[in-house]
Structure 1
Amino acid sequence: MNAQSDERGGVARVAEPDSVTGDGAGPERELGSRAPAFIKASKPLHVSWQVGVFAVGLAVVAAGVAMLVLPGPGWFVIFGGMAIWATEFVWAQLVLRWTRRKVTEAAQKALDPKVRRRNILLTAAGLVIVAVLGAVYLWRFGLSLPWNVSE
């Protein structure tokens, strides 16, 4: 991406828009801090704000990573933490833009009629296989649970 840093205001901005994403959203938001103006006016206060935003975002991302192995919406929480970071950090804004672009591409690809037809056929074949295996189990063992089968 072609982001430039403005040393006076500490704000990065896009020099020239590469292209519009084509999803009807229009041009993307300006890169940089979204802190209130009175916080940006004072360098120590702005740095403290950034440390706080980073700490909160880190806690949310860490909780999301823990939820990948524990019960919970892990990826959703991780992207929530990235969104918190994106309120203050350009690198997180760029990661979220890339992620949004990839999700949009995947959604468009999934809606392609050929891909949808293939996915429906694969799902139907999988359901038939599961149904046949279930029928074989019921025919062989009846309605007993697997850990109660004595054979």
Structure 2
Amino acid sequence: MSTEPSEGPSRGPSSASGVAVARKPHSGWRGRLHTTLDLIRANPTGRVALKIFIGIAGAIVVTVGVALIPLPGPGWLLVIAGLGIWAVEFHWARRLLGFTRRHVHAWTRWVTSRSLPVRLALGAVGLVFVLVVVWLSLKYSLGIDLVARVMRYLATH
């Protein structure tokens, strides 16, 4: 009985010597996903179709995220999610996602190491930024000037 990994799409990448290296098996839904992706990649047509599908799906999610960045909500989260979708098939996206993760973790560590007044000031600056972006978005895209309406209301009451 051989302990060699089985032939087929479940084998991992080749090492520098050309000998196949077994990939650590995943359990649960991740294992099923990896197996499915490996089976799709085993067929040249499937490989191209998968790249096209992943490219389009990632582009849609990133585009929606970029459109939502100026508004309060999950804009950046969607951009990062789209990058994660692209990272399934594209090496450049995997590297960019790693870069993003490192910098978000560094920023989070830096902010959490600051005192409470500094964190509150950072939160206040972020809140003011979001409010200004929402005000400008409403004013120039929908023609609703909230500041003028509030000032008019205060002057008449």
Tell me the SS of whatever aligns to 2:115: helix
Q: Give the aligned partner of residue 85 of structure 1.
A: 86
Give the superposition deviation at 1:81.
0.6
Give the superposition deviation at 1:69.
3.8
Higher relative contact order (CA 8 A, sep 6+): 1
Unaligned runs of 5+ in 1: 1-10, 16-33, 127-144
Number of matched residues?
101
Q: Answer whether contact 1:12 1:90 (CA < 8 A) is retained.
A: no
Q: Give the aligned partner of residue 118 of structure 2.
A: 119
* Structure (1/2) with the larger strand percentage: 1
**Deviation string, structure 1 residues 101-120 (Cα, Å, up to 9, x no partner):** 111111111122xx325515
Are positions 1:146 and 2:142 aligned together?
no
Paired residue type of 1:116: S
Instruction: Give me the CA root mean square deviation.
Output: 3.2
The verdict on how the C-alpha distance between 1:121 and 1:103 changes in structure 2, with shifts beyond 3 A counting, is closer
Are positions 1:109 and 2:110 aligned together?
yes
Q: Answer whether contact 1:57 1:82 (CA < 8 A) is retained.
A: yes
**Deviation string, structure 1 residues 46-87 (Cα, Å, up to 9, x no partner):** 011100110011011111111124564211111111111111
Q: Give the aligned partner of residue 47 of structure 2.
A: 46
Please give the TM-score of this superposition, normalised by the length of structure 2. 0.53
Please give the TM-score of this superposition, normalised by the length of structure 1. 0.55
Distance in 1 separating the partners of 2:70 and 2:121: 28
Give the superposition deviation at 1:122.
4.3
Unaligned runs of 5+ in 2: 1-11, 17-33, 126-149
Which portions of structure 1, spanning 4 or more consecutive aligned residues, are displaced by more than 3 angstroms?
69-72, 120-123
Q: Give the aligned partner of residue 76 of structure 1.
A: 77
Q: Answer whether contact 1:53 1:88 (CA < 8 A) is retained.
A: yes
